[in-house]
């Protein structure tokens, strides 16, 4: 892993922790602006790392929603079939 990748990854990890703790969901854009003022290359690497993390959160939320829908459907079918068992 290059120093660029390592620094971008560490900054993204730290940013996510602060965003989770404070609820500032756009903090990463402020950090990117600070980085961009001195290193566009680091800014791009950082934003890539942040996008990966943010999109993972969205994808996991989507999948968790699908699981909940499936479980609800299963419970409903078990409830409907419950009167027939026995």
Positive or negative CA dihedral for 48, 29, 44, 9? negative
Q: Are 12 and 49 in contact (CB under 8 A)?
A: yes
pLDDT confidence of residue 29: 98
**With bands split at pLDDT 50, 70 and 90, how would you rate the model's confidence at 82?**
confident
**With bands split at pLDDT 50, 70 and 90, how would you rate the model's confidence at 80?**
confident
* Half-sphere exposure at residue 46, Cβ-oriented, CA atoms within 13 angstroms: 24
In this prediction the pTM is: 0.80
Q: For the residues 14-25, what does the mean pLDDT come to?
A: 97
Query: pLDDT by residue (tens digit) across 23-73?
Result: 999 999 999 999 999 999 999 999 999 999 999 999 999 999 999 999 999
In the chain, domain spans: 3-81
């Amino acid at each position: 892993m290059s120093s660029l990748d390592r620094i971008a990854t560490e900054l993204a990890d730290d940013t996510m922790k602060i965003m989770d703790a404070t609820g500032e969901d756009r903090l990463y854009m402020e950090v990117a602006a600070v980085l961009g003022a001195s290193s566009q290359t680091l800014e791009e690497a950082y934003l890539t790392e942040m996008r990966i993390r943010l999109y993972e959160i969205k994808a996991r939320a989507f999948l968790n929603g699908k699981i909940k829908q499936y479980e609800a459907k299963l419970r409903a079918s078990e409830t409907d079939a419950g009167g027939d068992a026995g």
